[in-house]
Amino acid sequence: METISLKGVDERLLKNLKAMARKRAISVNKVIVEVLKESVYDEKEMRQKPYPKHHDLDHLFGTWKDDSGTKEIEEILSAQRKIDKELWK
Protein backbone atom coordinates (compact mmCIF):
# COMPACT_ATOMS: atom_id res chain seq x y z
CA MET A 1 0.00 0.00 0.00
CA GLU A 2 1.45 3.31 -1.06
CA THR A 3 1.40 6.60 0.84
CA ILE A 4 0.87 9.98 -0.78
CA SER A 5 0.83 13.57 0.48
CA LEU A 6 -1.80 16.07 -0.59
CA LYS A 7 -0.84 19.68 -1.20
CA GLY A 8 -3.16 22.56 -1.85
CA VAL A 9 -5.92 21.46 0.51
CA ASP A 10 -7.65 24.66 1.55
CA GLU A 11 -9.54 25.15 4.81
CA ARG A 12 -12.97 24.76 3.20
CA LEU A 13 -12.04 21.43 1.60
CA LEU A 14 -10.51 20.14 4.82
CA LYS A 15 -13.57 21.22 6.80
CA ASN A 16 -15.85 19.35 4.39
CA LEU A 17 -13.65 16.24 4.45
CA LYS A 18 -13.71 16.23 8.25
CA ALA A 19 -17.49 16.62 8.25
CA MET A 20 -17.83 13.67 5.86
CA ALA A 21 -15.53 11.60 8.08
CA ARG A 22 -17.56 12.40 11.19
CA LYS A 23 -20.83 11.61 9.40
CA ARG A 24 -19.51 8.23 8.20
CA ALA A 25 -17.63 7.54 11.46
CA ILE A 26 -14.36 6.91 9.60
CA SER A 27 -11.03 8.69 9.28
CA VAL A 28 -10.38 11.57 6.91
CA ASN A 29 -7.89 9.32 5.13
CA LYS A 30 -10.59 6.72 4.45
CA VAL A 31 -12.95 9.43 3.17
CA ILE A 32 -10.28 10.64 0.73
CA VAL A 33 -9.58 7.10 -0.48
CA GLU A 34 -13.31 6.43 -0.96
CA VAL A 35 -13.82 9.67 -2.89
CA LEU A 36 -10.81 8.90 -5.09
CA LYS A 37 -12.05 5.39 -5.81
CA GLU A 38 -15.53 6.69 -6.68
CA SER A 39 -14.05 9.18 -9.13
CA VAL A 40 -11.41 6.89 -10.69
CA TYR A 41 -12.89 3.39 -10.75
CA ASP A 42 -15.64 2.32 -13.09
CA GLU A 43 -18.82 0.65 -11.77
CA LYS A 44 -17.43 -2.89 -12.18
CA GLU A 45 -14.32 -2.08 -10.17
CA MET A 46 -16.42 -0.41 -7.46
CA ARG A 47 -18.50 -3.57 -7.01
CA GLN A 48 -15.41 -5.73 -6.50
CA LYS A 49 -14.58 -6.59 -2.92
CA PRO A 50 -11.01 -6.57 -1.66
CA TYR A 51 -11.35 -10.26 -0.85
CA PRO A 52 -13.00 -12.93 -2.97
CA LYS A 53 -16.32 -14.34 -1.82
CA HIS A 54 -16.22 -18.03 -1.04
CA HIS A 55 -19.19 -20.35 -1.31
CA ASP A 56 -17.56 -23.65 -0.40
CA LEU A 57 -19.49 -23.93 2.89
CA ASP A 58 -22.87 -22.77 1.57
CA HIS A 59 -24.22 -26.32 1.64
CA LEU A 60 -23.90 -26.26 5.45
CA PHE A 61 -26.03 -23.14 5.90
CA GLY A 62 -29.16 -23.89 7.90
CA THR A 63 -28.21 -27.50 8.62
CA TRP A 64 -27.45 -27.15 12.35
CA LYS A 65 -30.16 -28.67 14.53
CA ASP A 66 -30.70 -27.99 18.21
CA ASP A 67 -30.27 -31.67 18.96
CA SER A 68 -27.06 -32.02 16.92
CA GLY A 69 -24.75 -32.42 19.90
CA THR A 70 -25.02 -28.85 21.11
CA LYS A 71 -24.70 -29.87 24.75
CA GLU A 72 -21.50 -31.85 24.14
CA ILE A 73 -19.96 -29.02 22.15
CA GLU A 74 -20.83 -26.47 24.85
CA GLU A 75 -19.21 -28.71 27.48
CA ILE A 76 -16.03 -29.01 25.42
CA LEU A 77 -15.89 -25.24 24.82
CA SER A 78 -16.57 -24.52 28.47
CA ALA A 79 -13.62 -26.71 29.49
CA GLN A 80 -11.36 -24.87 27.03
CA ARG A 81 -12.35 -21.45 28.35
CA LYS A 82 -10.89 -22.10 31.80
CA ILE A 83 -7.66 -20.31 32.61
CA ASP A 84 -4.75 -22.52 33.64
CA LYS A 85 -3.29 -20.51 36.52
CA GLU A 86 -0.03 -22.48 36.35
CA LEU A 87 0.62 -21.15 32.85
CA TRP A 88 -0.01 -17.51 33.90
CA LYS A 89 2.32 -17.23 36.88
- The tens digit of pLDDT for each residue in 32-56 reads 998 988 888 877 776 766 656 677 8
pTM metric for this prediction: 0.49
**pLDDT the model gives residue 66:** 67
pLDDT beneath 50: ranges in the chain: none
User: What residues does each domain of the chain span?
Assistant: 9-50
Residues 6+ apart with CB under 8 A from 37: 45, 46
Q: How far apart are CA 32 and CA 75, in angstroms?
A: 48
**pLDDT the model gives residue 68:** 65
**pLDDT the model gives residue 29:** 94
**pLDDT the model gives residue 51:** 59
